[in-house]
Amino acid sequence: WYVGQVLEVGAATTQTKGGMDHSDLWRMMEQDQSGVVLEEFAKHWKAEEEKVKASEEYQEAVAAGTPLPKVHFYNVLKRQFMRQMVIAGIFKFFNDISQFAWPYLLLRFLEFLENLKDRRDRGKSDDVTEGWILCCVLLALMMAKTVLENNYFHKVFRVGMHVRSVCIGLVYDKSLRLSQVARQAQNTGAIVNYMQLDAMKLLEFCQNFHVVWSGLFQIVGFTALLVYTIGPSTFVGIALLILLIPVQFSMYGKLSKHRKMLNKTTDERIKLTNEMLQGIKSIKMYGWEHSFIETM
């Protein structure tokens, strides 16, 4: 529905003004705008700061002249987004339950069909009430699963988007207030990586946070279903999966190593690009274009 309307607007504006622009799109909801999210984050930061100042640890540090405890970024995020993540976790839990119920109900339905065929072969009367009940339950279960799953993804994607907006806004605000000495210590490439790659990782973490417990829950649940259905043969497949865990850890370690190398290269490339743009007049004057292109 949404994509269809976007395509209709795009087709109409292509004929009138050569394509779509920002004015043709729907306005983002106020609670999803980055400015509103940052204002909400500032309120929670102030509340967390007051909580830290009221703590005994802070008072003891003031009296002793030792370094004062600081506000933790994680605690502020937890204060702002924990409720939404808990609601998403409830949706995820019941969605997993519906996934376990579907194979079991389908097995019951197949058993009902087999029994129905046997009764017909023996010339007995057909009682299809159980079959209709199972069909209705399966339909209701799939509808409930669709609602639960979509609400879960909507919650976690929205929280991830808000966390990413907060991180980008804070890094940008901090970069504008850096002193000259601090600017020399933090190059532009590192700041851009904080705003792009690191903020994106936090978004992905929010999207996959509930997989930590949901994955184990699903493994236990589906293993129980397989044992119930096919018996001890299930443990052969489980043993194979356990044997593959070291291989997966090894591959993940190599992938993480390559990502770190890529991030370092990205920092150097962005730093060089920034320096080239700042000194473009000198580069053109001395004819250093080819040298910079080869270096990039």
pLDDT at 1 over 70: no
CB 222 within 8 A of CB 100: yes
Mean pLDDT of 201-222: 88
**What tokens were used for 257?**
């190593």
Residue range 8-59, pLDDT digits in tens: 877 777 777 777 777 777 777 888 888 888 899 999 989 988 888 888 888 8
Q: Which two tokens stand for residue 12?
A: 């109409």
The answer to whether the pTM exceeds 0.85 is no
User: In the chain, what percentage of residues exceed pLDDT 90?
Assistant: 15
Helices 34-53 and 129-176 sit at what angle, rounded to 10 degrees? 80
Reply yes or no on whether the pLDDT at 2 is more than 70.
no
The position carrying tokens 């790659």 is: 197
Closest CA relative to residue 110, chosen from 143, 93, 135, 141 = 135
Burial of 94-129, coded b for 16+ CB within 10 Å and e otherwise, reads bbbbbbbbeeeeeeebeebeeebeeeeeeeeeeeee
Question: What length does the chain have?
Answer: 296
Mean pLDDT in the chain?
83
Give 93-137 pLDDT, tens digit per residue.
999 998 888 888 888 888 888 887 777 777 676 777 888 888 899
